[in-house]
Amino acid sequence: LPGNAAVLLRALTLLALAGVLPIVAAGCDAAETLPAGAPEPAERQELVVAAGADEFMLEAHRERLGIHPLHAGICEPLVRLTHDFRPEPLLATRWEYLGDNTFRFTLRQGVRFHDGQPLNAAAVKHALDRVARTIRHSYLEEESIRIVNDSTVDMRPARPNLRLVEQLVHPIYSIHAPGSDPTTHPVCTGPFRFEQYVRDDRLTVVRNAEYWGEPARLERLTFRFIPDENTRALALRSAEADVIFDVNRSMVASLEAARGLRVEAAPPGAVMLMYLNIQGSATHDLLSERAVRRAVALALDRRALVERLLEGHAALVHTVNPPEVLGEYARLVEGIPHDPEEARRILEEAGWRLEGSNVRRREGRSLSLTLIPQPGSIDPAVTQYVQAQLAQVGIQVRIEQFDPGAFTSRLNSGQFDLDIELPNQNDANPAFLLSLRWYPPANVRSAVFMAPGPHYDALVERALGATDHEEARQRAAEAMHLLLDREVAAIPLAGIYRIYALKEWVQGFDPHPSRANQGWASVWVAR
């Protein structure tokens, strides 16, 4: 070849080799995948659910394959969470408090694991000992579980904990079969059996025909991991997904308008909360003044936030967790109304004056607050809304956005005035959040900046020490009343709906307020 042509040929060969080889390699080790646009055979009871990112690859969740954060119906705990946040029997048919921090559970008879082993007290102890060993924040220790007889176990947490039954509804306390490996092939008692897990791609389960209860109607259920919410919506519009998780409210209208699709929302399982730094140091101590805190709460029109900004995909709540968690006692928490005039009056009375400016001042100091939203959970429109609302009464808000690492660092060092987060309620413990975020004995670093004081601590301890669920609800409501109505240490902004979109022929889907407890056994396909 002439020199120039040879040079070009070399260049092209180089590029072709670099380009083609990996593609060929990709084709050679191709995983089994759904062909694009392939029609499903009519009436086959198979469903594809597009979930978010795969979190099972994380060390924290590896022991929870198919269980949490994505609950695929493979495994079951002793008790489960109802839609109104109560514990109800599942693998345990009943329980009782024996005193001395000890609970006795009676196991359901005739239940078998997917591999044929019977469910008994030894299996429960084996499974929960493993949870105690592998999950750093477990409420149980290895010494906690004692076998009474083949169908009875006693549980005695190392630390006094009368909320144990309400906490055990969380799927992380699921019972795996002895000898099975939860990290690669979970074997449990649930309505679905594990079939396949491909990291970052999919988790597939199939019907457990031998299920002890009502068998699942679906033959196969595949969860595909699609982190991007827009792509999930497009997958639903194509033939690749039948149900999608976590629909952004901005997409709801277009999905509802699309032929063959529908949208369903779960009742709030999380409340968007504004935490106030009420014990801050020199630069962040403005909210140590109760009058300012009350003015902040009065200035916020939360109904408009729910109805207009969040377009009705949220509920107006006055509690720090879904009101159902407190049952009828939720009425003890009154909430602070929207009254900007009153907010202005309180601030004036406290000496915060406008003095011709848009921002109030007192003794040379501006009423300027720093707001840090929880990254990834809080819509920027919400923080801007809060900023605009507080500006109307002369309170300046500076919004600072961080990634999760920097956010927790700011939170732990008290370098904030306002913090908006979206904590989930995944168990039935009415004092769960109360005993974590505002209760210094829990030893959570940021609690010292938010703690209302000893009176509140005493009320929380009464809730934690209640032997009866209803009593715990009442005590928790009393603590919440002090926290929100009197101390204004937090402001509930909205109860957030979790939104799903489905193909119209997906039937029997019952959205649970706690996504961690979402069931699939009742779902079927009717094309």
Partner 1 sequence: VAAHYIGWRVLSLLPVWLGISLLAFSLANLAPGDPAQMILLRQTGELPSEDAVQRLREQLGLDDPFPVRYGRWLADAARGDLGTSFRTGEPVLGALLERFPATLQLAVAGLLIGLLIGIPLGVISATRRDSALDHASRVGVLLGASLPNFWLGYLLILLFGVGLGWLPVAGWGTWQHLVLPALTLGVGGAASLTRLTRSMVLEELGADYVRTARAKGLPERVVVVRHALRNALNPIVTLTGMRFGGLLAGAVVVETVFAWPGIGKFLVDSIYDRDYPTIQGFVLFTGTVFVLLNLLVDLGYAWLDPRVRLAGRGGADGGR
Q: Which of residues 233-262 bind partner 1 (CB under 8 A)?
A: 234-235, 237-240
Nearest CA to 527 among 504, 505, 501?
A: 505
**Nearer residue to partner 1 within complex by CB, 33 or 281:** 33
Give me 523's structure tokens. Answer: 């779902």
Helix (H, G, I), strand (E, B) or coil at 416: coil
Give me 321's structure tokens. Answer: 């967790």
**Nearer residue to partner 1 within complex by CB, 123 or 434:** 434
Instruction: Name residue 436's amino acid.
Output: L
| C-alpha dist (Å) from residue 321 to 7, 211, 489 | 70, 34, 14
**Nearer residue to partner 1 within complex by CB, 429 or 474:** 429
Rounded to the nearest angstrom, the gap between the alpha carbon of residue 29 and the centroid of all alpha carbons in its chain is 36
Task: Kindly tell me which residue out of 345, 410, 462, 486 binds partner 1, with binding defined by CB under 8 A.
Answer: 410
**Nearer residue to partner 1 within complex by CB, 53 or 147:** 53
Distance CA 171, CA 512 (A): 14
Neighbours of 146 (CB within 10 A): 14
**Nearer residue to partner 1 within complex by CB, 266 or 347:** 266
Nearest CA to 222 among 69, 73, 80, 61?
A: 73
**Nearer residue to partner 1 within complex by CB, 31 or 257:** 31
Closest distance between partner 1 and the C-beta of residue 254, in Å?
A: 12
Q: Where are the alpha helices (DSSP H) in 306-433?
A: 340-349, 380-391, 404-413
Rounded to the nearest angstrom, the gap between the alpha carbon of residue 423 and the centroid of all alpha carbons in its chain is 7
Closest distance between partner 1 and the C-beta of residue 442, in Å?
A: 6
Task: Kindly tell me which residue out of 315, 391, 399, 436 binds partner 1, with binding defined by CB under 8 A.
Answer: 436
Task: Kindly tell me which residue out of 80, 176, 437, 473 binds partner 1, with binding defined by CB under 8 A.
Answer: 437
**Nearer residue to partner 1 within complex by CB, 81 or 153:** 81
**Nearer residue to partner 1 within complex by CB, 17 or 148:** 17
**Nearer residue to partner 1 within complex by CB, 304 or 406:** 406
401 binds partner 1 (CB under 8 A): no
Q: Where are the alpha helices (DSSP H) in 334-379?
A: 340-349
Closest distance between partner 1 and the C-beta of residue 237, in Å?
A: 5
The residue ranges of DSSP E strands in 100-208, in sequence order, are 102-107, 145-149, 152-155, 192-198, 202-207
Nearest CA to 469 among 432, 433, 428?
A: 428
**Which of the ranges 206-214, 291-299, 357-365, 406-414 carries the binding residues for partner 1, by CB under 8 A?**
406-414
Q: Which positions from 132 through 151 interact with partner 1, judged by CB under 8 A?
A: 135-137
Closest distance between partner 1 and the C-beta of residue 183, in Å?
A: 10
| Sign of CA pseudo-dihedral 159, 165, 167, 173 | positive
Q: Which positions from 10 through 69 interact with partner 1, judged by CB under 8 A?
A: 10-11, 14-15, 18-19, 22-23, 25-27, 30-37, 53, 57-62
Task: Kindly tell me which residue out of 149, 254, 283, 412 binds partner 1, with binding defined by CB under 8 A.
Answer: 412
Closest distance between partner 1 and the C-beta of residue 33, in Å?
A: 5
Closest distance between partner 1 and the C-beta of residue 422, in Å?
A: 10
Task: Quote the Cα angle for 518-523-527, to 5°.
Answer: 145
Closest distance between partner 1 and the C-beta of residue 443, in Å?
A: 4
**Nearer residue to partner 1 within complex by CB, 198 or 391:** 198
Distance CA 144, CA 148 (A): 13
Q: Which positions from 176 through 235 interact with partner 1, judged by CB under 8 A?
A: 199-201, 224-228, 230-231, 234-235
Q: Which positions from 465 through 524 interact with partner 1, judged by CB under 8 A?
A: none
| C-alpha dist (Å) from residue 2 to 7, 10, 420 | 9, 12, 70
Q: Looking up tokens 């997409």, which residue turns up?
A: 251
Q: Residues in contact with partner 1, total (CB under 8 A)?
A: 72
Closest distance between partner 1 and the C-beta of residue 380, in Å?
A: 17
Tell me whether strands 396-399 and 368-373 are parallel, antiparallel or unpaired.
Answer: parallel
Residues 95-124, one symbol each (x = binds partner 1 by CB under 8 A, - = not), give ------------------------------
Which residues sit opposite 295 in a β-bridge?
Answer: none
Tell me whether strands 368-373 and 418-421 are parallel, antiparallel or unpaired.
Answer: parallel
Distance CA 90, CA 73 (A): 13
Q: Which positions from 338 through 397 interact with partner 1, judged by CB under 8 A?
A: 375
What is the per-residue burial (b if ≥16 Cβ within 10 Å, else e) of 435-473?
A: bebbbbeeebebbebbbbeeebbebbbbbbebeebebbb
**Nearer residue to partner 1 within complex by CB, 122 or 447:** 447
CB-based contact 309:382 (threshold 8 Å): yes
Task: Kindly tell me which residue out of 404, 504, 508, 510 binds partner 1, with binding defined by CB under 8 A.
Answer: 404
**Nearer residue to partner 1 within complex by CB, 116 or 405:** 405
User: What separation, in Å, do the N-terminal and C-terminal C-alpha atoms of the chain show?
Assistant: 64
Closest distance between partner 1 and the C-beta of residue 514, in Å?
A: 11
Task: Kindly tell me which residue out of 389, 426, 429, 514 binds partner 1, with binding defined by CB under 8 A.
Answer: 426
Distance CA 242, CA 225 (A): 13
Q: Which positions from 438 through 457 interact with partner 1, judged by CB under 8 A?
A: 442-446
Distance CA 57, CA 77 (A): 22
Closest distance between partner 1 and the C-beta of residue 222, in Å?
A: 11
Closest distance between partner 1 and the C-beta of residue 508, in Å?
A: 26
